[in-house]
Structure 1
Amino acid sequence: MRKSRTYQDAIAALNGLQSNAQTIEKARKERDVNANKNIPWMEKLVRIINIEPVDLDRLNIIHVSGTKGKGSTCAFTESLLRRSGYRTGFFSSPHLVAVRERIRLDGVPLAEDVFTRYFWDVHDALRDGCQPEEMPPYFKFLTVMSFYVFLQEKVDVAVVEVGIGGTFDSTNVIKHPTVCGVSSLGYDHMSILGETLPEIARHKAGIFKPGVPAVTVRQPEEAMMVLQKHAESLSCPLYVVPQLNQYPTEDNIPIDLGLEGPVQEWNASLALQLCRIWLERTQKPHAHSRSENEVPNQKENLRFEQSSKVEECEPFLVTSALRTALKECRWPGRFHRFSQKNLDFFIDGAHTKESVAFCAGWFRKSALSKDSKKVLIFNSTADRKIEDLLSPLINCGFNVALFCPNILEVVKVNAASDQANFTVNRDQQLARCGKQKILWEELNGVKQRKDSVAEAICFDSVKDTLAWLEDFAENNDGKVEILVTGSLHLVGAVLSVLDPTLENVL
């Protein structure tokens, strides 16, 4: 008789699928040779668990790529459709505290017992049906599992966030999405996607499908030209969304978003248009009768024939119910505030030059206590330029800057932990933290000035960093305002210490 397998057993088995740092580096070097094998591999994997790629059409998928804001756009989209009466599935990455966050039903991460049951269904089928070398790595496995869960649970809509890029991303096994979206484009994952904005845009546009409407926020001209050219090659109608303040609202009450930050207005507008096009193309009935809760279906404003130019979507009336959906949307780790005792945390997983600049502006505007001490907790991963990320933070008035790796604690990694990460090399992370500290000091002019602007300290782990922070707070009267940024993995590690029960995260 087989021993009952627990959630911890599932996490240990899942973490066993992580690629180590050396394997990832090798894959990056060989990406041009092997990238085109990824989608056929995904097609084989879904077939092993008795899903034909065409079966994914039943999920009425909204597929979203982009550099900045694609997760927030998906969160807004899911909230709007769920509160319009539809049963939603939502696949995103990375997770912050628990891997269950990546697969959500009706806005809620899978419960441990549900995750465990579906995990073993998929794992056992793939283990029995794959050659050992064909067993999918971590992200690919979770992508397959998400499709299995959504089909089993018979969701009305699946909102799917691209992992990296688009063209060769595991989620691009989707052949016939209902609508595609592209959030703001910028420079990220350049070792994989290319060094120029047009190269990056080509990957992001890779999710476009023949005849399927695509919607984007306003983009830099060189990126928009690539999106438009690719859309034209597929006879794919491409639209750009209006500014959020162009949407009329009931009783002329302004739209108030549940996610902070100026970029969220574009993400919310993109989500509104994705939902409207989704409704127009599916005409899918839901559990409740049509009411003011539903995103308006304004067929006359949506022209899906191919155009030689990028057309702007028409703004539509945002009802009070839709305003509520936007206001109550939550997406932890992005412009996220969290208080504990006399510590006020400002948490944002910004990891591009542009997004860190937005984050710095948000912190300067939101951290209003003149008498508080201000602390930076920062780390970035190896494929990003440190100076680009640190420079926007110089003028935030930090008294202390703390640098630590995305490592929870200095102990042997527990393979059954949601925070286990075998894809990074600890020594390399620590060396990078040292470089970040030196660069911070140089940017602040510490070497040339006796009155250093901000003391800089390196730590071996997140727990060590937070322990020092508590001591620092005890020795200083009043509030301490802390900005945590540079990496979503750092944000997740910090939140897993501050909120281990997930009460404020899930």
Structure 2
Amino acid sequence: MLLALRESVEIREEKFMEYFWWCYDKPKEKTSDDVPMPTFFQFLALLAFKIFSAEKVDVAILEVGLGGRADATIVVQAPIVCGVSSLGYDHMEIFGNTLGGIAAAKADIFKFLFVPFQMQHEIPAFTVPQPDEAIQVLEEKASKLNVKLQVAHPIDASSLNDLKLSLDCEHQYLNAGLAVALCTAWLQRIGHPISNFIQTGPLPEPFIKGLTTASLQGRAQIARDQLTDIESVGDLVFYLDGAHSAESMEVCARWFSLFTKDDNHQTNLNFEAQQQTFE
């Protein structure tokens, strides 16, 4: 997991700090009792946009915070492709306590995928298999906006030449299917000769390499204590995951059970919830 903001951007620390303070000072000049500083996630989005623009990146992959109408990334008016991952009961204090209401809020990102008389290319949207209530709302929203919404299905071992995902969790095969669809749409948009994301055989080698070597600390991460005596290395093992909703906790529990089913060691559960603020 990231311990400092600058770890998320691989540029020199001096340049990162220059961008950081620019993004902090500009809003600070405009704050008042009625106009507070951006929230933490809004600030991160502002910082990301500033860095992407200043560094002239070829492509930017944006992950939403809350998602939908309440998210800072909603300001992006013409994305190349859009993806909606598995929906669950999260951020209910903002989106309500029904899956349909949550899906409706998340689907608001679709409105920027259709700009009449301006877009020269079709801008697709993808999602994963969703509960009936959620997929119905997503499809209705997409239909109203003339957005082509497609369902990306999970990949399997044959897609990876019988290799395993480096993030070896059941739900990551679902996420990998969505990632393949999004990457394929991007490559097709820039004129790369690649077939449709629905494939019956192995994925292209660069896809396989990425999916089998990617790492994401703090998600389904197994960390062994490096300070234990050499003869007892492995006695203390940490199973780390950032699950924070009922659905993700269920997935986390299945992952933990699978990887510890043959382990007779004592198990301790530690759970931490904290609120992030920015001033």
**TM-score after normalising by structure 1:** 0.48
Mapping of residues 317-466 of structure 1, within 5 Å: 317-340=202-225, 341=228, 342-368=235-261, 370-380=263-273, 406=274, 421-422=276-277
1:204 Cα offset (Å): 1.1
Determine the structure 2 residue equivalent to 1:225.
136
Determine the structure 2 residue equivalent to 1:160.
62
Contact 2:165 2:212 in 1 (8 A): yes
Q: Distance in 2 between matches of 1:185 and 1:147?
A: 26
1:363 Cα offset (Å): 1.2
Name the aligned partner's letter for residue 357 of structure 1: E
Contact 1:150 1:158 in 2 (8 A): yes
Determine the structure 1 residue equivalent to 2:15.
114
Name the aligned partner's letter for residue 23 of structure 2: V
**What is the DSSP-based 3-state SS (H/G/I as helix, E as strand, rest coil) of the residue aligned with 2:270?**
strand
Determine the structure 1 residue equivalent to 2:119.
none
Mapping of residues 197-276 of structure 1, within 5 Å: 197-208=99-110, 209-210=113-114, 212-245=123-156, 248=159, 253-276=161-184
Q: Distance in 1 between matches of 2:83 and 2:23?
A: 29
Structure 1, unaligned runs of 5 or more: 1-94, 285-295, 302-312, 381-405, 408-420, 424-506
Determine the structure 2 residue equivalent to 1:97.
3
**What is the DSSP-based 3-state SS (H/G/I as helix, E as strand, rest coil) of the residue aligned with 1:159?**
coil
Name the aligned partner's letter for residue 19 of structure 2: Y
Change (3 A) 1:246 1:233: farther
**What is the DSSP-based 3-state SS (H/G/I as helix, E as strand, rest coil) of the residue aligned with 2:238?**
strand
User: If each structure's strand is expressed as a fraction of its own residues, which one has the higher value?
Assistant: 1
Determine the structure 1 residue equivalent to 2:231.
none
Percent identity at matched positions?
A: 38
**What is the DSSP-based 3-state SS (H/G/I as helix, E as strand, rest coil) of the residue aligned with 1:158?**
coil
Contact 2:154 2:176 in 1 (8 A): no
Matched pairs, number? 258
1:320 Cα offset (Å): 2.9
1:274 Cα offset (Å): 0.1
1:180 to 68, 82, 92: 82
| Deviation per residue, 1:23-59 (Å, 9 max, x gap) | xxxxxxxxxxxxxxxxxxxxxxxxxxxxxxxxxxxxx
**What is the DSSP-based 3-state SS (H/G/I as helix, E as strand, rest coil) of the residue aligned with 2:97?**
coil
**What is the DSSP-based 3-state SS (H/G/I as helix, E as strand, rest coil) of the residue aligned with 1:268?**
helix
Contact 1:181 1:274 in 2 (8 A): yes
Change (3 A) 1:248 1:349: closer
Change (3 A) 1:182 1:349: same
| Deviation per residue, 1:165-185 (Å, 9 max, x gap) | 311211110000000001001
Higher relative contact order (Cα pairs below 8 Å, separated by 6+ residues): 1
1:96 Cα offset (Å): 4.1
| Deviation per residue, 1:332-380 (Å, 9 max, x gap) | 1110110102310000111222221221121122125543111111234
**What is the DSSP-based 3-state SS (H/G/I as helix, E as strand, rest coil) of the residue aligned with 1:163?**
coil
Q: Distance in 2 between matches of 1:266 and 1:370?
A: 27
Contact 1:215 1:270 in 2 (8 A): yes
Contact 1:214 1:237 in 2 (8 A): yes
Name the aligned partner's letter for residue 268 of structure 2: V
Which is greater in Rg?
A: 1
| Deviation per residue, 1:435-477 (Å, 9 max, x gap) | xxxxxxxxxxxxxxxxxxxxxxxxxxxxxxxxxxxxxxxxxxx
Contact 1:242 1:315 in 2 (8 A): no
Contact 1:165 1:193 in 2 (8 A): no
Q: Distance in 2 between matches of 1:349 and 1:248?
A: 27
Change (3 A) 1:247 1:230: farther
Contact 1:346 1:363 in 2 (8 A): yes
Determine the structure 2 residue equivalent to 1:483.
none
Contact 2:157 2:164 in 1 (8 A): no
Change (3 A) 1:247 1:281: farther
| Deviation per residue, 1:226-249 (Å, 9 max, x gap) | 110111111111111133028645
1:193 Cα offset (Å): 1.0
1:279 aligns to 2:176 (yes or no): no
Contact 1:244 1:269 in 2 (8 A): yes
1:141 aligns to 2:43 (yes or no): yes
| Deviation per residue, 1:272-314 (Å, 9 max, x gap) | 1100001112338xxxxxxxxxxx622xx4xxxxxxxxxxx52
Name the aligned partner's letter for residue 98 of structure 1: A
Q: Distance in 1 between matches of 2:239 and 2:83?
A: 28
